[in-house]
Chain A
Amino acid sequence: MKPGVWHRLDIIARGLFPAFSVFALLLINLLPLSVPLLSTASPALALMAVFYWSVNRPDLLTAVTAFLLGLLQDLLMGLPLGVSSLVLVLVQTGSASQGRFFHNKPFSVMWWGFALVAIPALLVQWLLSSALIGALLPFKATMISYVLTAALFPIVAWVLARAQNTLLRYV
């Protein structure tokens, strides 16, 4: 049976969902919330989603997509250009190659994996941003950001897993 046009369009749209979810998380990251802590350091939501998809569906979130999403993050957040692209490409490639390790393991293993991956990711971001700005950025904020990122990962991963189960089961 030959699949119809709508069917194919549906599959393409579903296939774009991982990239779209990272974009949506980027926008959520930008929301002005009146929580004092979040204005000094915010969780790296895009990093979580890129890690999640590269572990579970590396075919739907490629390195090129990660690069473009990183570029968008730098542009929107006023960060030095190219830094987030580099970090997200490294995370995508690294996690995709280790993806099989996490299959059929309890969620806590993936959480630990992410907590480990996020350390070098945020360190590289901090170092390169400092170098490009030409002054040492406060390390404390990066630490807070790391703790928030690692702590909030289960929530984001749960939402993404629900979406993966409903939208991407047959894609």
Chain B
Amino acid sequence: MAQHGGPQQRIFSPLRTALHRFAFILLILSAFGLMLLGKADTVLIERIRAASADLVSPVMNVISRPAASINELTDKIYNLAHLYEENERLRRENQQLLAWQQAARNLSHENARLRDLASYTSPPALHLVTSRVIADMGGAYAHSVMISAGSRDGVAKGQAVISDEGLIGRVAEAGYQASRVLLITDINSRVPVVVENSRDRAFLSGDNTNRPLLTFLTADAAVAPGDRILTSGHGGAFPPGIPIGVVSSVSENAVRVAPMFRRHQLEYLRVADYGLQGILSEDRIRQSQPSNDENITEVSPDLPDGVGIVPAGPTGNDGTSPSTNAAGEAQ
């Protein structure tokens, strides 16, 4: 090449190298630009993410099926090997559950009578969407899964995602036919929770490990391994009382919680629309902005009636709704 390239080669070869170098620098700069954009314009990025989830969801929907059947097969083999122990365990569990069933029946009757007495308005019926997990963004950097339901099925950003065991996470982005669910173990996840027995409030903060942390606990909080953790319903992001996990370890500087679900076995999830907007819903942010001059600190939750969540009095006169306030505090 070099022999009969002649003068042309001498001019164009360095030019091409320079062009390559320029393109490389340009790409590096655009990568950093993207990082800044990702930090600055979250709404736009969310839309693009939702669109990209929509883009691959048909493919993932198909190719995740064989994977699921392989999983089923390994499960079956495992179950066959542990049939006897499993049977024993279930027998014991059944005995316990029968006792609990009796207790639950009694309580349910009592509860119904008390509700009649107090003329309690029950919370609105749940709107549940069941969908399959089609992708698991497993890894060291993010804990989220993709489900095969989107705005087409009524799924919207911020809705709670639950499995048979308890809370899994919330919808981070909802596309048309697929959505991304941010698990409670993800480093970006914060869930207001309450310790079942002591009623201590805290936040469940993910840190990308399988054992999220219990943060913002008061110093005198009584938490012991084995305590159940439920959603508290504060902030209007999740309804109160959904089980999340069990305290797994308590040490000097960290209380860790073992979630109820096992991530690698998530298969079908339910997206629950409780009619709550979530603490960072776009509507609420928009509403809170124009009224800056009057009550800056108060964000009106705009909740449906009967959901036992502490309402921050939007107009400031506390005497208007004592019953709901009391109900909320009692949570």
Number of B positions contacting A (CB below 8 A)? 56
- The minimal Cβ–Cβ distance linking A41 to chain B, given in whole angstroms, is 5
The verdict on A39 contacting B263 (CB below 8 Å), with A63-B27, A132-B38, A138-B208 known, is yes
Q: Known contacts A41-B139, A75-B49, A129-B141; can you find 17 more A-B pairs with CB under 8 A?
A: A30-B146, A31-B63, A31-B136, A32-B266, A32-B267, A34-B71, A34-B264, A42-B139, A63-B24, A63-B27, A75-B52, A76-B137, A82-B38, A90-B28, A126-B141, A138-B207, A145-B140
- The minimal Cβ–Cβ distance linking A35 to chain B, given in whole angstroms, is 6
* Contact surface of B with A, Cβ cutoff 8 Å: 23-24, 27-28, 30-35, 37-39, 45, 48-49, 52-53, 56, 59-60, 63-64, 67-68, 71, 74-75, 133-142, 144-146, 172, 180, 182, 187-188, 207-210, 262-267
Query: Which of chain B's residues have a CB closer than 8 A to the CB of A41?
Result: 138-140
**A125–B141 touching, CB < 8 Å:** yes
**A32–B52 touching, CB < 8 Å:** no
Counting chain B CB atoms within 10 Å of each CB, which of A39, A86, A93, A128 scores highest?
A39
The verdict on A132 contacting B208 (CB below 8 Å), with A35-B264, A141-B139, A145-B140 known, is no
The listed residue (A32, A74, A125, A128) touching B136 by CB distance below 8 A is A32
* A144: interface (CB < 8 Å): yes
**B138–A40 touching, CB < 8 Å:** yes
A-B interface pairs (CB < 8 A), number: 149
Assembled-state Cα–Cα distance A89/B27 (Å): 8
**A67–B27 touching, CB < 8 Å:** yes
Query: Which of chain A's residues have a CB closer than 8 A to the CB of B48?
Result: 75
* A33: interface (CB < 8 Å): yes
Query: Which residue of chain A is the closest to B133 with respect to CB atoms?
Result: A32
- The minimal Cβ–Cβ distance linking A94 to chain B, given in whole angstroms, is 10
* A160: interface (CB < 8 Å): no
Counting chain B CB atoms within 10 Å of each CB, which of A40, A79, A85, A137 scores highest?
A40
